Amino acid sequence: MPEMDLVSTRIISSPDINKTHLVRHIYFLDLLKKLDQEFLVRKIPIWILKGPALVFRYYENASERKYTDLDVFVEPQNWEKSMQTLKDLGGKPTNGKKWMGNAFRAVYLFDGFPVEIHKGLLVERELDYAFIKDSRPTKIPDLVWFREPCAEDLFVYLCGHGAFQHLFDEIQWLYDLNLLLIKERGSLNWSKIFLRAKAYRLKNAVGVSLLLLEKYFGHTVPSERPLASWFLRKTAARYLHPERIRKHLHQKPYAFYMFYKALMRDSLGEAFVYGLSRLGK
């Protein structure tokens, strides 16, 4: 177990913190410092996604945002060198879940704690990695090399991951988006968000996310927002009610859940292909 620093001590002071999450959080903070130093020495740019990056940027206390692994991103040309770096640091490669996402990500275990390294961000989406030039330093303490996506790219990515890829399987995705809007509201470039949503074919994912954020969190956004399809606009607020998400009720019946996931695609053709790919699974 790594030695507890001032950050860890502050987190422990929360009376309701889950001990398992605390142990994981402290371990990952220590591991991130080692990754930060090693990738710096090897001059391999690396980005942190979700998890502790969101904790230290938007949450008041680590106990409010649990996570089970580290998600990091490297450019495709640094893929092999980055995987070798994780091995050199003691990471044990594992296949993880057998799904289409394995084409652009790999999982390494450090004492049983997983690190997912990505050379792409979302299933079925070829991002142009414009976020690299617009990225910003992380707010995670003691890291000097890691970077994070800017607010606009992070918003679109979270919509893509939470709504498009997972259909808000966990309520935390809505909380993340809500806090991002609260903390970044004054500086957000909505034109950039809409442009990214269109370019990445995530208009439905972003549109549905904004509908929920408006109805249940009181946010307002410019009228030229990339609205979701008519059916999603009419049904999303009820079907994806936060309480239904919290209780996982939106996942039942499973057939309708999969139908809704298909409709989260930006075209009927893509929705049809997705539906065929999921038959029998």
- Chain segment 149-185, per-residue pLDDT in tens: 999 999 999 999 999 999 999 999 999 999 999 999 8
So what's the pLDDT on residue 101?
54
Cα 75 off chain centre by: 17
Mean pLDDT over 22-38 rounds to 94
Largest CA distance in the chain: 54
Mean pLDDT over 26-47 rounds to 97
So what's the pLDDT on residue 122?
85
Report residue 47's pLDDT band, with 50, 70 and 90 as the boundaries: very high
Res 276 pLDDT > 90 = no
Mean pLDDT over 36-51 rounds to 97
Report residue 6's pLDDT band, with 50, 70 and 90 as the boundaries: very low
Mean pLDDT over 232-253 rounds to 96
pTM of the complete model: 0.89
Question: Is residue 64 classed exposed, middle or buried when 0-12, 13-18 and 19+ CB atoms within 10 A define those classes?
Answer: middle
Res 84 pLDDT > 50 = yes
- Please, are residues 205 and 237 in contact by the beta-carbon 8 Å criterion? no
The mean of the pLDDT values for the chain is 87
Report residue 186's pLDDT band, with 50, 70 and 90 as the boundaries: confident
Res 5 pLDDT > 60 = no
Euclidean distance between CA atoms 120 and 39, whole angstroms: 18
The tokens of 189 are what? 């470039």
Res 2 pLDDT > 50 = no
Mean pLDDT over 27-33 rounds to 96
Taking Cα atoms as reference points, which of 141, 179, 190, 170 lies closest to residue 240? 170
Res 281 pLDDT > 90 = no
Range of lowest pLDDT (45-54, 59-68, 113-122) = 59-68
Q: Using the structure block, give the residue that is written with the tokens 């970077």.
A: 147
User: By three-state DSSP, how is residue 118 classified?
Assistant: strand
- Please, are residues 176 and 52 in contact by the beta-carbon 8 Å criterion? no
Cis check for the bond before 253: say yes or no (omega within 30 of 0). yes
pLDDT tens-digit map of 193-237: 999 999 999 999 999 999 999 999 999 988 877 789 999 999 999
